[in-house]
Amino acid sequence: MIELIYMMIGMVLGLGVTGAAMTKDMQTAIAAPIVTGFIVSAAGSFSIAFVVAGVVMLIGILSITFFLGCIEKIPDEEKKAILD
């Protein structure tokens, strides 16, 4: 749902669908060092920031592994018709 909202905002601003998707991805890239800086300033060292980054990475790996499922090649009917 949120992706649809970003795409609609991107189309209104003239970014297109790809530009809106890239804008959403860049928001996380901008937020990561900011969050890391807050963690380092609160904790006084980078060790907790590294642990948080590792936990986020582990959650991402597990979610891709369990939610994505088996990836299979989509058969190309056009190529099959040409070869037959």
| The overall pTM is greater than 0.75 | no
Write the pLDDT tens digit of every residue in 35-70: 999 999 999 999 999 999 999 999 989 988 888 878
Give the range of the structural domain holding residue 72, as residue numbers without chain letter.
2-83
> Is the pLDDT at 15 greater than 60, yes or no?
no
Determine which helix (DSSP H) or strand (DSSP E) holds 1, and give its type and residue range. Answer: none
- The DSSP secondary-structure symbol of 44 reads S
Counted domains in the chain: 1
Average pLDDT, the chain: 78
* Angstrom distance (rounded) from CA 9 to CA 16: 9
Average pLDDT over every residue of 74-81: 70
Is residue 23 within 8 A of residue 13, CB to CB? The reply is: no
